[in-house]
Every structure is written in C-alpha cells, then in structure tokens.
Chains A and B, each alone.
Chain A
Amino acid sequence: MSLDKFLFRMLDVCRVPGPLAGDLLEERKSGRSGLWLTRQVAIAVAAALAREVAGHKLQSILAMSVGLAVSVPIATSTRLLGNSVLWFGLGHLLAYCLAGYIICRSFSARALAMSAVFVVYAGLAKTCLLAFNAERLINGAALPYIFLTLLTPLAALLPGLWFSSARYPDRQ
C-alpha cells in the first residue's frame, strides 16, 4: 500500500470530513510533498478525534473507566507469572489490547476516538507515575520497563483501527 493510499485511508477511518480530505488530495496533486501530506493528515486526524471526544464527554469518561477497569487487573495479574521484561511487556500488551477491544465493543459508533482517549489518558497517567517514582527508577535496569510502560498503551489503538476500518470501508 503506498503512503498516499494509507494516509487517505486513515482520513476515512478517522472520519475526517470529506471536504478536508478532498482539499488535501487537491493539494497533493498540485505538487505538495509526501512529508507535507503526512503532517497535514496527522493534524486532521488529531482534530477529528478531538472533536469527536469533545462532543461526547460522558462517553469519553466512561471509556477511560472501562479501559482502566480492564487493563489494570490484567497487567497486575500477569506479574504473578514472572517479573522479567518479557512477561512485563506481554502482560501490558495483552492488557491494553483487551482494554481497547472492550472499549470498541462498548462504544462501537466511536470506537477509534474512544480508544484514543483511553490511550492518551493511560499515557498521561503512566508518565505521572514514572515522574513521581523518578528517583527510584534512575538506573539502567529500569529502562526497558519504562520504555514498555510508556509504549504499550498504544496497543489499545489497534482494535480501534480494526473496528473503524471495518465500519468505514475503503472508498478508493
């Protein structure tokens, strides 16, 4: 799949309004670079998701609560299987994928926006927790755990992308 096709597919999946997507296509055809298009699509997608979240504040709070209720027990219980980086990473990936899936099932009309709001919330919460424990964590051995802690919440977006792709089929 070419970069352009992927980017315009993302616009459809993230429900970016047609006129804006049309403007971006028009500009791309008039010679704008792939980098320009990538930046514009990122901004358009972020704006579309933010608008959807702002329009459904209560659902967003519920989505965050559901995500938290699913991910925390799973991530915590997988620690019982071992404390290695591998188990830590797998446990967190599983926890966030499942949280994303449950959020998408619960809020299927706005699957991607609701999973995105949970990812932002989880990312901010994890960053705060790491910052409060910074003194204890400043050593080389903690680095892989910090890395995984900050990146694994992104896994909750995968079910959202999958749900939205199925809901808004490719128009090209």
Chain B
Amino acid sequence: MPRRQINDVELLILLALLRLGPDAYGVPIAREIESRAQREIALGTVYAVLDRLEAAGLVTSELGEATPERGGRARRYFYVTDVGLRAVRDAMSSMRAMTAGLEILQGAAS
C-alpha cells in the first residue's frame, strides 16, 4: 500500500503533536503553531485536519475529563502513531532533499 503523503498544514500539526507530547489538544496545538511557525490556524481547521489524520491512522485520540471551565465539555487529546511518525520522517526527508544545495535559500532558513 502506498504511503500517505501529508501536506504542509498536516505536517505542522503532526510536528506540534510531537512537541507537545501527552498534553496535545486543540488549544496548545494551535498556539504552538502560532508561536513557532507564525501561522494562525483556526481551531476548526485543526480539528478537521486531525479528524482526517485519525481516519488515515496517523494519529489517535482519547477524551479527557469534562471540566466546568469548558462548559462541561471534555478535552480531546491526540497522539502520533508509528505510521504518523513515519509520514513525518518521509516529509522531512523529501523537504531536505529538495532544499539541499539551493543557494537561494541560504540564510532564509534561520
């Protein structure tokens, strides 16, 4: 079966999940991407992408406890699966291969 290719938003979200570890739910995921990648992603988009990734087996999720501060709504925590990790590695490796030796990008990466 061919491996699933991931797009840039999916890659950002998977990297945010890897950075956050077990505390990854909607709010910190969106904030992590906003602070590190300077890209604002709507929470609705984050969940839509995560649903898609979960359907493809790249992430799993579980519900936390409902809290009164959240109007009795539970948090949904997300974790990267082995398949997801492999997809991230593939995407990063493609990116490195495509950018290697491109002088025009020198200095833009920092």
Chain A residues packing against B (C-beta within 8 Å): 8, 16-27, 29, 39-40, 43-48, 51, 171-172
Contacts and interface: CB of A to CB of B under 8 A. Distances in A.
Interface of B: 25-27, 42-45, 47-48, 51, 63, 66-67, 69-76
B47 A17 contact: yes
B71 A27 contact: no
B70 A25 contact: yes
Given A19-B26, A23-B25, 19 more contacts: A17-B47, A18-B74, A19-B63, A19-B73, A20-B26, A22-B66, A24-B43, A25-B69, A25-B70, A26-B69, A29-B69, A40-B42, A43-B44, A45-B44, A47-B45, A47-B47, A48-B44, A51-B48, A172-B71
B70 A26 contact: yes
A18 B63 CA distance: 10
B63 A43 contact: no
A58 B65 CA distance: 36
A22 B70 contact: yes
Contact of B44 (A8, A18, A22, A46): A46
28 contacts: A8-B71, A16-B44, A17-B47, A19-B47, A19-B74, A20-B43, A21-B71, A22-B66, A22-B74, A22-B75, A23-B25, A23-B26, A23-B43, A23-B70, A24-B43, A27-B27, A27-B43, A29-B69, A40-B42, A43-B42, A43-B44, A43-B45, A44-B44, A45-B44, A46-B44, A47-B48, A171-B72, A172-B71
